[in-house]
Structure 1
Amino acid sequence: MHTVETVLLVLMLGSLTGIAARYFRVVPLPVIQIVLGAMLSWPRHGLHIAFDPELFLLLFIPPLLFADGWRIPKREFFALYKPILRLALGLVLFTVIGLGYLIHWMIPEMPLTVAFALAAVVSPTDAVAVSAVTRNLGMPSQTMRVLEGESLLNDASGLVALKFAVAATLTGLFSWTAIARDFIWIALGGLGVGALIGWGFAVAREVVTRRLGDVAATQMVLLLVLLPFAAYIVGDRIGASGILAAVAAGVMTNFTDLSRSEFVAERMQTEGAWTLVESAFNGAVFLLLGLQLPSIIGVTLREAGDRWWLPAGYAAAISSALLLLRWVWLTIGVQGSLWRAHGEGKMIEKPSYLLTVATTLAGIRGAVTLAGALSVPLLLNNADSFPGRDLLIFLATSTILLTLMIGTIGLPLVLKHIPSSGEPASAQEERRARVAACKAAITNMVLGKEQAESVDPQWLSQYQESAGRLTQEYRRRIDLLEDPVPAATPEASTETQDAIRQRRHRYVVELELRLKSLHVERDTLYEERHEYHINDESLRSLVAELDLAEASLRKRLHVARQAAGLVANTSAPFDPLDPGV
């Protein structure tokens, strides 16, 4: 199949599986996509795609990691840097050494350096897979930040370990000094060049948009989408980590966005563009993973012959050992820093045995593991075949599947038994910020005495009437969002709570009525177009206004229903397009 046709087919299938996942919410989207990819390529005349690891890492990984770095809450990320670094660096080293010796003991015909290479390949968790599986399961928010930070940073340490394990296999030489020196350059160089590129883009964007405004929004969004590729290529060319460069560019871009509150069109287009890119590339990653499975499994099973069960047993043992080592490191090496973070107020949820188990099961491997395994060279320096390469690729791929399935099945069971910590801290902060914004808007509408005397009386009367209506609307929103003040007696407290509940229910009814009215307005506009009373351009303009109003109204309705006790507070992200909101 032609390359262009293949890319179009993969993107189309990624979209279709995303739609299917809306109907099969029990099965995570990555599992659906991997299974579909395997089904498409399993028959002899199925879809077969040559997998180029370098091209794969360049095309699919940078935008996804850039988006994760752009979206991850920086406050929590830097507050929890100690457990994140202990997982991203310490756990990788612990895994490579412990799992490497176990693999060599279990498979004596695999040289120790190759065993270390396999351990290095499976040591980093995958940011895309972790977020895809855990996103809607109610994982405690700070624990989710630790997992996201770990998966963003541990790729560099895993790939460095792989590089030196492969080099030791090829040359027979090994140097801890060289490893430490190269790791420092690869990690710090990647972070530095990515931050520099992100900052340079921000300066150039500021110069252009301050002069042109939102006129250049579309072009700036396109350049922003290309930014992670530029960061990855430059980082890779200088011998540093292109992956960390893409992450650092995303983090830096987010920081510079904080001073661009007035560029509404650019912000809306950026959000829409990244949503599209993430959806398309996420689907492509897991579909390509599934497309490789039949050939990888077929080669290994043919070589194993009647002893087909032996590679399967190795894969199960390695996956189990991987999770066991992760649990041990979490218990011994990370638990202390989590307790300190909890004591300092940086982590709301209290560390517990079940939370450690959930964090262990969330150690899911993904696309970077497959790309790393397939990047192992075919030949040694003396032109002999690289020892155990096919088995290494099979075991790495099996580890991806097994950790994905274990996380998919085990995480919901474990998280169900973790007691809820109540309303998430982020939801409380969001509510307080909404109240502060409403109060600031009310204050801004008040005219000073001198200002009121200097304007036209008729305009002043109209202004005061409009300000009164708008102030009333803002006060209703404040009543909804503010916590009730406790009364002096239980009877008064009950009366107050009932009154607040009734007021909040009335506000929900009002918002639902407004949403229904918006739908009537939109349907009427389409009827006007069908009857040729307006043209297509007018229809698009008018409907766009209603669509934006509906997205805002849906969010307000979601918050109102939570405040009224009609919807449970959850850490799952709000989806304004979900008809159930």
Structure 2
Amino acid sequence: MHTVETVLLVLLLGAVTGIVARYLRAIPLPLIQIGLGAALSWPQQGLHIAFDPELFLALFIPPLLFADGWRIPKREFFALYRPILTLAFGLVLFTVIGLGYLIHWMIPSMPLMVAFALAAVVSPTDAVAVSAITRNLGMPAQTMHVLEGESLLNDASGLVALKFAVAATLTGVFSWTEAAKEFLWIALGGLGCGALLGWGFATLRETVTRRVGDVAATQMVLLLVLLPFAAYLLGEHIGVSGILAAVAAGITTNFADLRRGEFVAERMQTEGTWTMVESAFNGAIFLLLGLQLPSIVGRTLEAAGGHWWQPALQALGITLALLLLRWIWLLLGVRGALWRAHERGKLLEQPSPLLTLATTLAGIRGAVTLAGALSVPLLMPNGNAFPERHQLVFLATGTILFTLIIGSIGLPLVLRRLPPAGEPDSVREERQARLVACQAAIAAIGDVSAGSSERQAPLQEALGRVTQDYRKRMDLLEEPHLAITPEAQADSPESVRQRRLRYVVELELRLKALHAERDALYGERQAHRINDASLRALVAELDMNEVSLGKRLDVARHAAGLEPVKKHQGH
């Protein structure tokens, strides 16, 4: 099969599995995609792809890491930097040393440096798989921020450790001093390279769009999509971490976006584009893992002869040891930092044995582990085969599968036993920000002057309607235990709830009317009474109104003690 056909097929299957996962909620999406990929490639005449690890790293990893750096809440990331750095760098070193010696003890035929290479391969975690498993299960928000920050940074530390272990195997020489110097150069150089490139792009974009406005929105979004590839390739070209360069470029670009509040078209296009890119590339990664799985398993079982159960038990043993080391590190190396963050108010959830267990089970391995394992060279400098390479790839793949399965089963069980977290800080802060925005809007329209006596009456009438609408929003944004208005302080709870229910019904009626508007517009187009351009412009306006109404309805239903509305199909 040609490369173009393969890429299109993988993207198609990624989209299809995403839809299937909506109906099979008990099975995480990554497992569905791996299973489908394995089913497609297992038969003799199945789909087989020649896997190029360097191409895989350059094509799939940069945009996903860039998107993670772009989306991750920066305030929480910097507030929780101590536990994040302790996990991203300290745990990787602890894992490489501890697990490396354990693997060498379990599998004496595997040289120590190769065992270190395998330990380095399985050290990076995959926050994408964790979020796919824990979606709607109540993983505490700030714990998830720690896991995302860890995953952003430990990809680089794990791959750098792998690089040193492979180099030591190839040359037979290893120096801790040289390794430390090289690591600092690779890590800091990658962060600096990505930050400079992101800052340069932001400056260029600012210069262009300040001059031409949103006219160039589509072109700027395209350049933004290409930015992670540029950061990765430039980092690799100058000998630093391309992965950290992509992450730093994403973080820097997000900071620059804080000054671009007026560019609505560009912002909407960017959000939609990145949502599509992340969905497509995440699906492709796990499908490719499934497509490689039968050949990896086949070669290992063939080498094991009749003792097929041995490599499977070895992979399970490595997985359990990996999770045990993670649990120990969380107790000894991270728990203190988490407690201090909790006492300072930076970590809402209090560290507990159950939360530590959930964080341990969230150490799921994924795409970077697969790419790192397959990047191990086939041959030594003397032409001999790289020692135990097939076994290394199999054990790394088995670790991915076992961590996914254990996390899929264990995380839901543990998270259901965690005490209710209450209202997250982010929800309260969002409500307060909405209140401030409404107050600013009322103040702004209150300063409007009629300009002429003829406009005075219409202005007062319009001002009353708009102000009333904003005050209705503010009523629903008040803390649930407060009365809706100062005049209603003495109202009974039932009276307050009835007033909120009336507002919910009003918003639902507005949404129903908006849906009818949209249906009528499509009917006008089908009857050829308006053209496509008019239809797109009118529907885009309704779509933005629907997003606003939908958010207000969610807040209103929450305040009234009702369940949130499930996302609709069709409307």
- Fold match, TM over 0.5? yes
The separation in 2 between residues aligned to 1:155 and 1:277, in whole angstroms, is 20
1:501 aligns with 2:497: yes
The question of 1:549 aligning with 2:555 is answered no
Once the two structures are superposed, what CA deviation does each residue of 1:263-301 show, in whole Å capped at 9, x if it has no partner? Answer: 000000100110111111111111111110000001001
1:421 aligned onto 2:417: no
Quick check: 1:131–1:148 contact (8 Å CA) kept in 2? no
Match of 2:528 in 1: 532
CA separation in 2, counterparts of 1:578 and 1:288? 32
2:259 aligns to what?
259
What residue is the counterpart of 1:84 in the other structure?
Answer: 84
Q: Secondary structure at the match of 1:123?
A: coil
Return the offset for 1:176. 0.1
Contact 1:142 1:347 (C-alpha < 8 Å) held by counterparts: yes
Give the structure 1 partner of residue 157 of structure 2. 157
- 2:341 counterpart of 1:341: yes
Note if 1:273 corresponds to 2:273: yes
CA distance in 2, matches of 1:177, 1:580: 61
Separation (CA, whole Å) in 1 of partners of 2:559 and 2:59? 43
Q: Is the 8 A contact 2:473 2:552 kept in 1?
A: no
Match of 2:248? 248
Structure 2 residue aligned with 1:388: 388
- Please tell me the residue identity of whatever aligns with 1:552: S
Which residue does the alignment assign to 2:556?
Answer: 560
CA pair 14-413 structure 1, distance change in 2 beyond 3 A: same
Q: CA RMSD in A?
A: 1.7
Q: Quick one: which amino acid aligns to residue 472 of structure 1?
A: Q
Residues 501, 580 of structure 1: alpha-carbon distance in 2 compared, 3 angstrom cutoff: farther
**Aligned equivalent of 1:469, options 445, 465, 486:** 465
Aligned residues: 567
Distance 1:173 1:126 in 2: 31
Aligned to 2:228: 228
Deviation at 1:543, TM superposition (A): 1.8
Contact kept, 8 Å, 1:126 with 1:366, in 2: the verdict is yes
Residues 455-480 of structure 1: CA distance to partner in whole angstroms, max 9, x if unpaired? Answer: 20121221121111011011111110
Deviation string, structure 1 residues 387-418 (Cα, Å, up to 9, x no partner): 11000000000000110111111111100000
Q: What CA distance in whole angstroms lies between the structure 1 residues aligned with 2:489 and 2:535?
A: 51
**Structure 1 CA distance for aligned equivalents of residues 361 and 489 of structure 2:** 44
What does residue 196 of structure 2 align with?
A: 196
- CA–CA distance in 2 between the matches of 1:132 and 1:198? 28
The unaligned stretches of length 5 or more in structure 1 are: 569-573
Distance 1:561 1:479 in 2: 13
Cα distance in 2 for partners of 1:209, 1:417 equals 50
**Is the partner of 1:384 in helix, strand or coil?**
coil
The structural deviation recorded for 1:60 is 0.4
How far 1:565 sits from its partner (Å)? 1.2
1:355–1:494 CA distance, 2 compared to 1 (3 A): farther
SS class of match (2:156): helix
Listed as ranges, the matches of 1:3-18 within 5 Å are 3-18=3-18
CA distance in 1, matches of 2:60, 2:132: 15
**Could you tell me which amino acid in structure 2 is paired with residue 416 of structure 1?**
R
Deviation of residue 493 (structure 1)?
8.0
Separation (CA, whole Å) in 2 of partners of 1:504 and 1:331:
46
Give, in whole Å, the separation in 2 of the partners of 1:354 and 1:441. Answer: 45
Q: For the residues of structure 2 that align with 1:338 and 1:484, how far apart are their CA atoms?
A: 30
> 1:47 maps to which residue?
47
The answer to whether the 8 Å contact 1:17/1:33 transfers is yes
Verify the 8 A CA contact 2:300 2:394 in the aligned structure 1. yes
Instruction: Trace 1:15-54 onto structure 2 (pairs within 5 A).
Output: 15-54=15-54
Distance 2:427 2:33 in 1: 32
2:417 match: secondary structure? coil
In structure 2, C-alpha distance between the alignment counterparts of 1:398 and 1:292, rounded to whole Å? 12
- The amino acid of 2:524's aligned partner reads E
SS at match of 1:541: helix
* Post-superposition offset of 1:135: 3.5
Q: 1:250 to 1:578 in 2, by over 3 A?
A: farther
Secondary structure of 1:307 counterpart: coil
CA contact (8 A) 2:480 2:559 kept: no
User: 1:512 — aligned with what?
Assistant: 508
Contact in 1 for aligned 2:342/2:349 (Cα 8 Å)? yes
Residue 571 (structure 1) aligns with: none
Tell me if structure 2 keeps the 8 A contact 1:34–1:289: yes
The equivalent of 2:479 in structure 1 is: 483
Partner amino acid, structure 2, of 1:327: W
Distance in 2 of aligned mates of 1:534 and 1:411: 53
What's the offset of the Cα at 1:548? 1.9
Q: Displacement, 1:495?
A: 4.2
Aligned to 1:103: 103
**Preserved contact between residue 65 and residue 127 of structure 1 (Cα < 8 Å):** no
1:283-326: per-residue Cα shift (whole Å, max 9, x none)?
Answer: 11111111100000010011111100000010010000000000
Whole-Å Cα distance in 1 between the matches of residues 341 and 281 of structure 2?
Answer: 35
CA distance in 1, matches of 2:526, 2:163: 63
What SS class does the counterpart of residue 250 from structure 2 fall into? Answer: helix
Task: Identify if the C-alpha distance between structure 1 residues 484 and 28 changes in structure 2 by more than 3 Å, giving closer, same or farther.
Answer: closer
Change beyond 3 A, Cα 1:508–1:579 = farther
Give, in angstroms, the shift of residue 550 of structure 1: 1.4
Deviation of 1:157 after TM superposition, in Å, equals 1.1
List structure 1 runs of 4+ shifted beyond 6 angstroms.
none
Instruction: Note the C-alpha offset of 1:497.
Output: 2.5
Gaps of 5+ in 2: none
Report the secondary structure of 2:305's partner residue: helix
Instruction: State the shift of 1:540 in Å.
Output: 2.2
Residue 282 of structure 1: aligned partner? 282
